[in-house]
Structure formats: structure tokens, C-alpha cells
Amino acid sequence: MTKVTDSKGGWWKWLLLAAAVVIADQFTKSLVVASFARGEAMPVTGFMSLVLVYNSGAAFSFLAGAPGWQRWFFTAIAICASVFLVYMLKRGGSRMLSAGLALILGGALGNLWDRIAIGKVVDFLLFHYGDWSWPAFNVADSAITVGAALLILDSFRQRHTDATVPAAKN
């Protein structure tokens, strides 16, 4: 199996995927904010609802109850992560790796936009069953999750190297 790599000159094309995620994320969030009151829910299926919630914390509302410093803390983390992701994209790699990095970058920038603009992240997808529910999330969160899954899958792919490893001596 050979490793398919992108030419280092074409790395910026992956930024288009990241931009598409940001656009889709911000568009869907704007639709929900314009259509729902805070906390309002609309069932879509028996296990999924659209709901408008704001998250001032991180994943699963981590640090949401903090007095406000977390906004800038998570903003700084998102900026640093985004710079690192662009660096990784510039290095090149398999299409799966690059797609995963671009999806994570787009998701990070989508949520970063919310943090800078309104101080919290808009979430609106709620999956539930009976009394149980998964924390609400958004398109950016979904892109980050799919991107992380692609990175994990890519890590299991067989790699070929130009260097040979000498056999161990007994």
C-alpha cells in the first residue's frame, strides 16, 4: 500500500474545506438564532430536536460556570490550535490526514467566531431518548468529531518509508 500525499504546494486547497465548514456552521447557527428563543426546542424526530442553547464553556459545557475568564482561555486555545493545524496542513500528508485536519480547523474556527463575536458558542442539535439526552452541539462540533475520527483512521494505515530498518541481531 502506498501513501498518497498531497504536494506541499497544494496544501492551501484544504483551507477551502475548512472555510466551507465555517460557512455551513455560521449559516446554520444564524438560522437557529433567528428562529428560536433561548431554550426553545422543536422536535424533528423522536430522538432529535433543534434547540437554541449557548455554551460559554468547552465540550460538554466544561467550565461553563466559570466567571468569564474561560472565554479568553478557550479563544487562545482555538487560535493556537488553528495555527498548529495550518502548520500540519502545510507539511502535507495523506488525503485522509489532510481532510481530518481541515475539518478540525474549520470546526475550531467556527466556534472561535462565536466566542469572539458573542462570548459563547451557539449549539442547536440535541439527540435524546426518553429522559436521556446528549449535550447539544453544532456543525463545527460535528466537523471536529469527524476530523478526529479521520485522524485516528489515518493513524492505522500502513506506511511505507524510504529507509530500511536493519534486522535485529541475535
- As annotated, the active-site residues are 123, 141
Phi and psi (nearest 5°) for 127? Answer: -105, 140
Q: How many other C-beta atoms are found inside a 10 Å radius of the C-beta of residue 61?
A: 15
Q: Could you give the CA distance from residue 128 to residue 45 in angstroms, rounded to a whole number?
A: 10
Q: Could you give the CA distance from residue 108 to residue 59 in angstroms, rounded to a whole number?
A: 12
The three-class DSSP label of residue 127 is strand
Point out which residues pair with 70 in neighbouring strands.
none
Q: Could you give the CA distance from residue 91 to residue 14 in angstroms, rounded to a whole number?
A: 12
Q: Could you give the CA distance from residue 10 to residue 98 in angstroms, rounded to a whole number?
A: 11
